[in-house]
Amino acid sequence: MAIVALPAGLPGRRLGWLVLPLLLFLVIFFFLPVGRLLSLSFAGATGPWEHYLRAASVPAYRVALATTFEIAALVTLISVVLAYPVAYLMATVPPRVTRLLTLCVLLPFWTSSLVRTTAWIILLQRNGALNTLLTEGGLTAQPIAFVYNMSGVLIGMSHVLMPFVVLPLYSAFRGIDANLVHAAETLGAGPWSLCRRLFLPLTAPGMLAGATIVFMNALGYYVTPALMGGPAQTMIAQLIAFNISEQLNWGLAAALSVAVLGATLLVFSLFQVVFGLEKLLGDSSAPVAATPFAVGSRGRSAGGWVLVMAGVAVVLFLLAPILIVFPMSLGSSPFLSFPPSNFSLRWYEEFFNRPQWIASLWNSLQVAGIAVLGATTLGTAAALALSRLRGPLGRLLETLFILPMIVPQIILAVGLFYLLAPWGLIGGHWALGLGHVVMAAPFVVITVRAALRGFDRNLELAALGLGASWPAMFRRVLLPAILPGILAGAVFAFITSFDDVVLALFLTNVRSRTLPKLMYEGVAHEINPTITAVAALIVLFTLAVLLTNLVLQRRAR
């Protein structure tokens, strides 16, 4: 192992062992359950390939596999197409407007995916706001089927995953030197030539990074296709859950898991080989051009104005389901309509007066507490160790710590269920809490690693050289510097836990079910107006957490 050079005897040289707690935790609660699940795929009564042959011979499984790749590819394409106008708009407006647009992108990004999916169902259903607008405006004679089909799946998944492309694309635009654009214009390049020969090649790495994340996430997606799709849009994750919960066919579910996991890891490995892990994770040290990209000396072209209008439309698309939830939650009618004819707090009172809603909220907060404490502690320690490790070992450990973000959640959920059920841990807070630590720890590692890259190591050496012990230096020098990264990681951990549905479906029961699971059960059967009040409260709660995090980060700085 290669370690950053420090004077002999300094405790900082011995921080490499801090990777062990997170590594051991992941071995027990990630690699072991996933490995045991995948091994079941080779435990057939007639041979090791029995389940694979069945998956290949049954038409329903072949169709679902093809549908999974089709939906993942279409969602990735739509996300890229929609992200370019937003990234261009963010890069070519004044800084104050850029900050506002960034907030408009991040607010949906941080908001629960279940809340957004629920809002889209309300918005797009047969008697929803969009069909009401179209029919009353005379644009259509009959309501259009926007949901419970392919269009519903593509709209819902693209809305959830598109911000993963917007953010790296914006960074790529900021990395384009405006002088390069001026030089190209001086040499006679027109808007189309600039786009084809300059902007697209220079933003391609950022676009590919975002597209890779979207595609990998889409392959294992569960909630949105299950709620917004129909039978023809059944994806592999749904069949894995079906074979476990309905058929009790662990071997076939494991074989399907191997298929989707193999495809995910293949995409991840190819990207890592070509571009590197830092580009996939959004390297915070990526250079910003000395003269960042802006509108050219000729002003915006006609195509530029088209991109601006498209960018504004996409931002409205991102905000629409969140904004529509609030007025609908204030309606008094038991039938969802937009805009509501009468305003009332009836559904908020229903939420606070129903014991099952309050109990599920308390369960979610308890599980999130376990996730935040565990992920923040383990992730921060691992990030400190990784900052001292170099060479193949450091890259290997970083990859291992990132894998829980790559592996589809349905595989982790089923693997943990198979591991923990014999121990009698299913149905309590700890099984789900430990699963959420697995999911959230990589976010903490990434955010704290980014903070450590911006830390001047000379301050550490100066403090140690002046006689401070390493704990004193950490408390008074290092910790204040990386505290914003730790807080951001803790917020990521909280929202990751509070938003989870997939693990909760397998690791909780009626008494321990979380708020997202109770919402999912309600949406899957019939949308009660109380769910709109819950969705609005979750959005407000998420916004409060984000604002609190921003305030704490400013004070820490």
Alpha-carbon distances, residue 23 vs 4, 259, 447 (angstroms): 21, 26, 18
The answer to which of 13-22, 82-91, 187-196, 244-253 has the lowest mean pLDDT is 187-196
Using the predicted structure, report yes or no on whether residue 509 has a pLDDT greater than 50: yes
Predicted confidence (pLDDT) per residue in 129-167, tens digit: 788 778 877 778 788 888 888 998 999 999 989 988 998
Predicted confidence (pLDDT) per residue in 302-350, tens digit: 777 888 899 999 999 988 888 888 888 887 777 766 677 778 888 888 8
Q: pLDDT at position 281, please?
A: 56
Using the predicted structure, report yes or no on whether residue 363 has a pLDDT greater than 90: yes
Q: Is residue 168 within 8 Å of residue 206, measured between CB atoms? A: yes
| Percent of the chain whose predicted confidence (pLDDT) is above 90 | 22
Closest CA to 317 of 116, 111, 138, 114: 116
176-210 residues labelled b (16+ CB within 10 A) or e (exposed): bbbeebeebbeeebebeebbeebbeebbebbbbbb
- 3-state class percentages of the chain: helix first, strand second, coil last, to nearest 5: 75, 0, 20
Q: Is residue 534 within 8 Å of residue 520, measured between CB atoms? A: no
The answer to which of 45-59, 233-247, 454-468, 497-511 has the lowest mean pLDDT is 454-468
By residue count, the chain amounts to: 557
Q: Reduced to 3 states, what is the DSSP secondary structure of residue 340?
A: coil
Using the predicted structure, report yes or no on whether residue 9 has a pLDDT greater than 70: no
- How confident is residue 299, by pLDDT bands cut at 50, 70 and 90? low
Domains of the chain, by residue range, sit at 11-37+354-525
Residues 6+ apart with CB under 8 A from 526: none
Using the predicted structure, report yes or no on whether residue 506 has a pLDDT greater than 80: yes
- How confident is residue 8, by pLDDT bands cut at 50, 70 and 90? very low
Token readout for 248 is 């009790």
Residues 6+ apart with CB under 8 A from 465: 7
Q: pLDDT at position 92, please?
A: 85
Domain 11-37+354-525 coded CATH 3.90.1150.10: no
Higher pLDDT, 367 or 429: 367
Token readout for 363 is 């369960």
- How confident is residue 374, by pLDDT bands cut at 50, 70 and 90? very high
Burial class (CB within 10 angstroms; exposed 0-12, middle 13-18, buried 19+) of 544:
exposed
Neighbours of 553 (CB within 10 A): 16
Q: What are phi and psi of 343, to 5 degrees?
A: -105, 140
Distance of CA 513 to the CA centre of its chain: 22
Predicted confidence (pLDDT) per residue in 429-449, tens digit: 899 999 999 999 999 998 898
Q: pLDDT at position 68, please?
A: 93
- How confident is residue 204, by pLDDT bands cut at 50, 70 and 90? confident
Cα distance between residue 92 and residue 201, in whole Å? 18
Q: pLDDT at position 503, please?
A: 92
Query: Around 538, how many Cα atoms within 13 Å sit in the side-chain half-sphere?
Result: 34
Closest CA to 165 of 207, 129, 121: 207
Considering the chain, what is the average pLDDT of its residues?
A: 83
Q: Is residue 495 within 8 Å of residue 110, measured between CB atoms? A: yes
Cα distance between residue 199 and residue 448, in whole Å? 32
Q: Is residue 328 within 8 Å of residue 344, measured between CB atoms? A: no
| Percent of the chain whose predicted confidence (pLDDT) is above 70 | 89
Using the predicted structure, report yes or no on whether residue 112 has a pLDDT greater than 90: no
Predicted confidence (pLDDT) per residue in 380-402, tens digit: 999 988 888 877 888 888 889 98
Query: What is the C-alpha radius of gyration for the chain, rounded to an integer number of angstroms?
Result: 25
Kindly give the pairing relationship between strand 2-3 and strand 389-390. Answer: antiparallel
Q: pLDDT at position 429, please?
A: 86
Residues 6+ apart with CB under 8 A from 372: 440, 490, 493, 494, 497
Q: What are phi and psi of 299, to 5 degrees?
A: 80, -175
Q: Reduced to 3 states, what is the DSSP secondary structure of residue 354?
A: coil
Q: What is the mean pLDDT of residues 358-369?
A: 92
Cα distance between residue 376 and residue 389, in whole Å? 20
Using the predicted structure, report yes or no on whether residue 555 has a pLDDT greater than 70: no
- How confident is residue 557, by pLDDT bands cut at 50, 70 and 90? low
Q: What is the mean pLDDT of residues 291-299?
A: 61
Cα distance between residue 115 and residue 501, in whole Å? 11
Q: pLDDT at position 3, please?
A: 40
Q: pLDDT at position 198, please?
A: 80
Q: What is the mean pLDDT of residues 268-297?
A: 63
Q: pLDDT at position 2, please?
A: 43
Positive or negative, the CA dihedral 173, 179, 182, 183 is negative
Q: pLDDT at position 285, please?
A: 46
Query: Which DSSP helix (H) or strand (E) runs through 508?
Result: none
Burial class (CB within 10 angstroms; exposed 0-12, middle 13-18, buried 19+) of 74:
middle
Query: Around 468, how many Cα atoms within 13 Å sit in the side-chain half-sphere?
Result: 17
Token readout for 237 is 């994750």
Predicted confidence (pLDDT) per residue in 456-482, tens digit: 777 878 887 777 777 788 888 888 888
Which of 4-18, 43-57, 376-390: highest mean pLDDT? 376-390
Q: Is residue 227 within 8 Å of residue 62, measured between CB atoms? A: no
Using the predicted structure, report yes or no on whether residue 262 has a pLDDT greater than 80: yes
Using the predicted structure, report yes or no on whether residue 554 has a pLDDT greater than 80: no
Q: What is the mean pLDDT of residues 292-296?
A: 62
- How confident is residue 6, by pLDDT bands cut at 50, 70 and 90? very low
Cα distance between residue 279 and residue 277, in whole Å? 6
Measure CA of the first residue to CA of the last residue in the chain; give whole Å.
Answer: 33
Token readout for 474 is 């950490």
